[in-house]
Amino acid sequence: MKKLLALSLALVLCLAVFAGCGAKDDNTLTMATNAEFPPYEFMEDGKIVGIDAEIAQAIADKLGKELVIENVDFDSLIPGVQTNKYDFVMAGMTVTDERKEQVDFTQTYATGVQVIIVKEGSAITSADDLFADGANNKIGVQLATTGDLYCTWDIEDEGLGTVERYNKGADAVMALNSGKVDCVVIDNEPAKVFVQNNPGLKILDTEYITEDYAAAVSKDSPELLADIDKALGELIADGTVKNIIEKYIPAE
Ligand code: GLN
């Protein structure tokens, strides 16, 4: 009886070890994003598509891995990669000093600009109006994005207005449409898409700040970072990244 027990215990142990091996041999590469950021990532016919989705696919192809894309809230991306829930993030994510303390970034593959969307005829006519003495505007942003961070520091903390945070950029734009906020600060490419879909809105000519986008990897995975960075570097060098970007953002 005891022998039998020992034998079955050993069997269970073996199985557990095998299961563990299975996980280790897993050939998937999981990229996390927030598919609310056209044209970098958005839903089309129930699928996540866009610049980041295509670059991530090209990276996975180079590494001989099967790409899996997870769609999560923007503020869950960094915690998810820190806890190794996802292998990497591609989400039009700006490289900032604060984020560099939480995750490692690859080289940058695109540039973004924080712009200001207003209603036609708005009293806000330039970025300076937001920082002027006595200013008191309600600014719509997407939660935890650089637009949120900068407006919190430059405007809310300075007593020049309040920041309204939305889970999706599109929701911030809806709030602008219905007069709940006076402007929206968001990255230029999604801004163009949102303005196109909402007559009566426009993007101000003055820009708030220019930023670099990169992929983010856990600080615990220097080898994965090196692999992804090398693949990305090759895709930039051979023009693949440029072609993907131009497919979604035709030159003006
Ligand atoms: N570039 C901005 C940031 O990194 C916004 C990105 C996004 O909304 N997907 O915070």
Find the 72 Cα to ligand 1 centroid distance in Å: 13
Q: Looking at the structure, tell me whether residues 65 and 186 fall in a common domain.
A: no
Tell me how long the chain is: 252
Percent of the chain with pLDDT over 90: 87
Q: Looking at the structure, tell me whether residues 191 and 121 fall in a common domain.
A: yes
Find the 213 Cα to ligand 1 centroid distance in Å: 8
* Tokens describing residue 112: 């973004």
Q: Which of 187, 207, 210 to mutate to test ligand 1, by most ligand atoms within 8 A of the CB atom?
A: 187
**Whole-number pLDDT of residue 13:** 60
DSSP string, 8-58: HHHHHHHHHHHHHHHHHH--EEEEEE-SEETTTEEEETTEEESHHHHHHHH
Q: Is 38 in the pocket of ligand 1 (CB under 6 A)?
A: no
Report the CATH number at residue 95: 3.40.190.10
Q: 22 falls in which pLDDT band (50, 70, 90)?
A: very low
pTM equals 0.88
**Whole-number pLDDT of residue 43:** 97
Q: Looking at the structure, tell me whether residues 96 and 218 fall in a common domain.
A: yes
**Whole-number pLDDT of residue 184:** 98
CA–chain centroid gap for 174, Å, is 20
Q: Judge whether 187 lies within some domain.
A: yes
Q: What is the mean pLDDT of residues 86-109?
A: 98
Q: How far apart are the two ends of the chain, measured CA to CA in Å?
A: 79
Q: Is 33 in the pocket of ligand 1 (CB under 6 A)?
A: no
Q: What is the mean pLDDT of residues 158-185?
A: 97
Higher pLDDT, 63 or 12: 63
Q: Looking at the structure, tell me whether residues 104 and 219 fall in a common domain.
A: yes
Find the 14 Cα to ligand 1 centroid distance in Å: 45
Q: Judge whether 12 lies within some domain.
A: no
Look at residues 82, 20, 91, 88 and name the one whose alpha carbon lies nearest to residue 52: 91
For the chain, give percent helix, strand, coil, nearest 5.
45, 25, 30
Q: Judge whether 121 lies within some domain.
A: yes
Distance CA 195, CA 114 (A): 14
Q: What is the mean pLDDT of residues 70-82?
A: 97
Find the 16 Cα to ligand 1 centroid distance in Å: 41
Write the pLDDT tens digit of every residue in 199-219: 999 999 988 899 999 999 999
- pLDDT over 60 at 24, yes or no: no
Q: Looking at the structure, tell me whether residues 127 and 203 fall in a common domain.
A: yes
Q: Looking at the structure, tell me whether residues 38 and 87 fall in a common domain.
A: yes
Distance CA 117, CA 203 (A): 4
Q: Looking at the structure, tell me whether residues 219 and 188 fall in a common domain.
A: no
Q: Looking at the structure, tell me whether residues 28 and 88 fall in a common domain.
A: yes
Q: Judge whether 9 lies within some domain.
A: no
Could you identify the atom of ligand 1 that is nearest to the CA of residue 94? Answer: 4
Find the 105 Cα to ligand 1 centroid distance in Å: 14
Could you identify the atom of ligand 1 that is nearest to the CA of residue 211? Answer: 1
Among protein residues, the one with the nearest Cα to ligand 1's atom 10 is 145
Q: 250 falls in which pLDDT band (50, 70, 90)?
A: confident
Span of 19-28, 41-50, 207-216 with lowest mean pLDDT: 19-28
**Whole-number pLDDT of residue 122:** 97
Q: Is 92 in the pocket of ligand 1 (CB under 6 A)?
A: yes
Could you identify the atom of ligand 1 that is nearest to the CA of residue 144? Answer: 10
- pLDDT over 70 at 95, yes or no: yes
Distance CA 248, CA 200 (A): 24
Distance CA 51, CA 163 (A): 29
* Residue 83 exposure: Cα atoms within 13 Å on the Cβ side: 5
**Whole-number pLDDT of residue 235:** 98
Q: Looking at the structure, tell me whether residues 94 and 121 fall in a common domain.
A: no
Number of domains in the chain: 2
What's phi and psi for 73, nearest 5 deg? -60, 150
Q: Which structural domain, as residue segments, surrounds residue 61?
A: 22-109+214-248
Q: Looking at the structure, tell me whether residues 83 and 148 fall in a common domain.
A: no
Q: Judge whether 1 lies within some domain.
A: no
Q: Judge whether 3 lies within some domain.
A: no
CB 183 within 8 Å of CB 122 = yes
Look at residues 183, 144, 178 and name the one whose alpha carbon lies nearest to residue 162: 183
